[in-house]
Structure 1
Amino acid sequence: MLGDMSDAHAPDGPQDVVPGRPHGVPSKDSMPVIRPDGVQPPAPAVRHGEIVVHDGGTLPAAPPPETHIVTVFGDARRSGRFRVAPHTSVSLLFGDLTLDLREAILDADVVELRTDMLFGDVRLVVPPGVDVQMRTTTVFGDATVHPGCSTDVPHTHTVVVHGVTVFGDVTVHTLEVGAPIPTLWGRLKTRWAQTRRSSGGT
């Protein structure tokens, strides 16, 4: 008569769990999929504050978008990789703001930017493919959209600029990533050179 063949030292729980890991707790890493051409890496996992890529590196997640930018007696600049909310307001009092959207993440196809300024300037820089609609009301100021480069690129996003500007300017430039933003002195030199050429000067 056969005796009990079970191992007296075997655990009571299921045998398909990884040793050393509590039962019911899944692995943090997904299992790779075996294919005829080799091993397929697991799909990227999303963790808090970062995105994990296949090579083991991480790409920092963009911080939450600002919905209200305030500058009083100072200058501000937003550039690089950051998120832009569908509705963003800018309030300037004796200050300037440079808003470079060439590497930004737009949270909507249409982004509304409200600019209310008193003695302030806003320079908006967008990449080719972003259509800018200027609806700003200016008092003793200018609202200018420079066509920039690659105007034949199909539009993928729209930025609507509206608000009230008193003693200030709103300027929009369309530039490729990495291209320098024209300064006031550079624009004056270019305008002076164009005036000289048109008048026949050397």
Structure 2
Amino acid sequence: MTAAEEGHEVDQLRVVAQARLEVAVGEGRLTLEEYSDKAAVVWSPTADRALLAQIVPYSADPPAAVSPPQSTIVGVFGDTKRSGRWSLATKTLALMLFGDVKFDLRSATITAHSSTITVVSIFGDTSVVVPEGVSVELGGFELFGDREFDGGRQDAGPGAPVIRVVSYSLFGDLKVRAR
């Protein structure tokens, strides 16, 4: 096999591995962080045929339970924090009065290619941590507050999950960062 043919085969394996990763994260078999780590390997220049064939082995395990399409969180004079292994709904709404919202999505499972987190906050800060390699879109506004976004070092690959963070805040900050 020539070097050009081998390069073409590796490119085809990359596309197949990426598609399998997308299915696995959509079914909840991979967390966003696991997806991000594996996608980085798939698209690294040093990936070879053997590594790509093993990156997402076929699994006959049934898919994880599907999270609800919507989730609503209401907090008054208290903070809300979600981290560890949890299911991110397709649409999450957090209404906070005098409290902070902290979401850590690195170990969260998602069932949709794109998820929206909407936060309405009066006198409270919002913090969202996503794994590197996940596409993040920001919207909304902060009145008397700051907006900070750190996308990390790794670009989102083709077909990466999309997390939309929409924040409407009065006297509060929004911080979104990739780790």
TM-score range (shorter-chain normalised) is: 0.5 to 0.7
Q: Counterpart of 1:74 in structure 2: which amino acid?
A: G
Q: Match of 1:167? A: 171
Query: 1:148: Cα distance to partner?
Result: 2.2
Measure the CA separation in 2 of the matches of 1:63 and 1:152: 24
Cα deviation digits, residues 13-44 of structure 1 (max 9, x gap): xxxxxxxxxxxxxxxxxxxxxxxxxxxxxx65
CA shift, 1:162, in A, is: 1.5
1:72 aligns with 2:38: no
The alpha carbon displacement at 1:163 in A equals 3.8
Which letter does structure 1 place at the counterpart of 2:164? V
With the length of structure 2 as denominator, give the TM-score of the two structures. 0.59
> Looking at both structures, which has the greater relative contact order when contacts are Cα pairs under 8 Å and sequence separation is at least 6?
2
Residue identity in the other structure for 2:135:
D
Q: CA deviation at 1:138?
A: 1.2
SS at match of 1:141: coil
Q: Which amino acid aligns with 1:72?
A: V
| 1:149 equivalent in alignment to 2:153 | yes
Share of identical aligned residues, percent? Answer: 37
Q: In the alignment, residue 122 of structure 1 is paired with which amino acid?
A: T
1:98 to 91, 99, 102: 102
1:133 matched residue in structure 2: 137
| Matching residue of 1:84 | 88
TM-score, normalization: structure 1? 0.53
Which is greater in Rg? Answer: 1
Please state how far the C-alpha of 1:80 moved relative to its aligned partner: 0.9
Structure 1: gaps (5+ residues): 1-42, 52-60, 176-202
**Do 2:93 and 2:117's aligned partners in 1 also have CA atoms closer than 8 Å?**
yes
User: 2:111 matched to 1:112?
Assistant: no
Q: Deviations over 1:99-143 (max 9, x none)?
A: 000010112111111110000111000001211111121111122
Please identify which structure carries the higher strand content.
1
Q: In structure 1, what is the Cα distance between the partners aligned to 2:169 and 2:111?
A: 26
Distance 1:170 1:127 in 2: 17
- Distance change >3 Å, CA 136–CA 155, structure 1 → 2: farther
Q: Which whole-Å CA distance do the structure 1 matches of 2:159 and 2:152 have between them?
A: 14
Instruction: Give the whole-Å Cα distance in 2 for the aligned partners of 1:108 and 1:64.
Output: 9
2:87–2:110: 8 Å Cα contact kept in structure 1? Answer: yes
Residue 155 of structure 1, CA deviation: 5.7
